[in-house]
Structure 1
Amino acid sequence: MSQSASVLRRNGFTFKQFFVAHDRCAMKIGTDAILLGAWAPIARVKRILDIGTGSGLLALMLAQRTEETVMIDAVELDADAAAQAVENVAESPWAERVQVHAADVQQWLKEENSRYDLIISNPPYYQQGVECATPQREQARYTTTLDHTTLLNCAASAITEDGFFCVVLPEDIGNAFTELALSMGWHLRLRTDVAETELRPPHRVLMAFSPRAGECYSDRLIIRGPEQQYSEGYTALTQAFYLFM
């Protein structure tokens, strides 16, 4: 996806209501995170946890979408990324509602007694393979420091009974993640398969898991129409954020 229309300031991304700098983050802003932040269910949410916040994008998107009383904790292991998230939050309209924590989420949760109605993560998903240019990028891309079992356990320890844990993953890895989650007692409640066009197979999947059993609602999102314009569904989902919509 071309982001040129939104990149109005150097080393960052300008949205309708906030700016996110990402030059000190290993993983840059991309479509995956924007989809997840716009898609995650927020009905009756009072507290939100963003695991691996990076630049703070998801936390800020959810701050924009929720009421003033909703508080958001954003946890990031990498010190440089966490510092940048702090700056991004401070310059946003929601500085008093988003708290960034530079910490290992496993250790941080052991010291927290809070429960969250919504936990969100754009998690690492690659297995260890080709070496990355920096240790920071490897940490952000690979599951070595936060494997999926650990991530699911962290979410389980902090979710409310009726809460949702939301992730975005490549379609094939998402299927394996779902099998793992179900084996650990989670229930898949929402799933959206994302395809670039109507004729292409899904390449990403958005999923919401809950400790509580219930019906699973599934649908499909197409990003671009026949003439490469953004689809009605994608526009409806993201137009509150993109400047060019």
Structure 2
Amino acid sequence: MMKDEFTFKQFTIKQNRCAMKVGTDGVLLGAWAKGGRRILDIGTGTGLIALIMAQRFPKAIVESIDIEENACEQAEENFLNSPFSDRLQVFHTPLQKFQPELQYDAIVCNPPYFVNSLKTPDTKRAIARHTDALSFNNLFHHSKRLLKPEGELSIIIPVENLEDILAESYFSGFFTKKKIWVKTTRDKREKRLLLAFSKRNTETEELHVSLLEEHNIKSEWYKKLTDDFYL
């Protein structure tokens, strides 16, 4: 059974009211993504990624949005109980209607990734996991509107969604800047991709990594990336 509280080195995540719980994907994205002075977390859930970004970038203002009211309340609770509470804010709004006064240096999103698949009976979990409420097209279209010209959008997706993601990014005027292929262990297939996009056409940096070495020991890449967060 999933526990209702998850403790990191500098903050604690309560997740009793949130459909999507703390997972490796969120930690990876938050620990890897580019930051800046103004950061937006789309579909914040518990607020995990926003909190990691706030820890990594001590001068950043981190704003987050979610369409699920309970998620927003949970994120706000986690923000208020953190050392970064004065730099974190959550808005209960869909991305399509979000109208901030200023653009962002960086946008992060662990997007819904089940396209045209059977939905779970749990409405909140379905919203968090399915692309109906936030299509890939909407993600890129509105990220372009919200990002500064030199800004960067960072996401994590299952490998099987890569073709759809790259097509939508291209049509929205984004270029792939970084591509990190992630496998659990060396003998497994890559299951996740960390992707960074920018509005400027640059050469794509590409890397293949694994999270664990033999005997389930963290790889150097994974350890270095997450050491400031995991206890």
Aligned residue in 1 for 2:10: 17
In structure 2, give the amino acid aligned to 1:132: T
**1:133-144 to 2 correspondences below 5 Å:** 133-144=121-132
Distance in 1, Cα, partners of 2:37 & 2:56? 12
Q: CA RMSD in A?
A: 1.4
In structure 2, give the amino acid aligned to 1:235: K
**1:95-244 to 2 correspondences below 5 Å:** 95-109=85-99, 112-243=100-231
What displacement does 1:84 show? 0.6
Contact persistence 2:19–2:128 (CA under 8 A): yes
Superposition TM-score, scaled by structure 2 size? 0.96
Aligned residue in 1 for 2:77: 87
Stretches of structure 1 that go unaligned for 5 or more consecutive residues are none
C-alpha distance after superposition, 1:78-118 (max 9, x if no partner):
00010010000000000000011111121123xx2311010
What displacement does 1:133 show? 2.7
What displacement does 1:138 show? 0.7
**Pair 237,153 (structure 1): closer, same or farther in 2 beyond 3 Å:** same
What displacement does 1:198 show? 1.4
Aligned residue in 2 for 1:51: 42
Contact persistence 2:156–2:194 (CA under 8 A): yes
What displacement does 1:183 show? 2.6
**1:32-43 to 2 correspondences below 5 Å:** 32-42=25-35
C-alpha distance after superposition, 1:134-178 (max 9, x if no partner):
111110010011111011111010001111001000012023202
**What number of residue pairs does the alignment pair up?**
231
Distance in 2, Cα, partners of 1:65 & 1:99? 16
Contact persistence 2:182–2:190 (CA under 8 A): yes
Distance in 1, Cα, partners of 2:60 & 2:229? 19
Distance in 2, Cα, partners of 1:17 & 1:174? 33
Q: Secondary structure at the match of 1:175?
A: helix
Distance in 2, Cα, partners of 1:97 & 1:161? 23
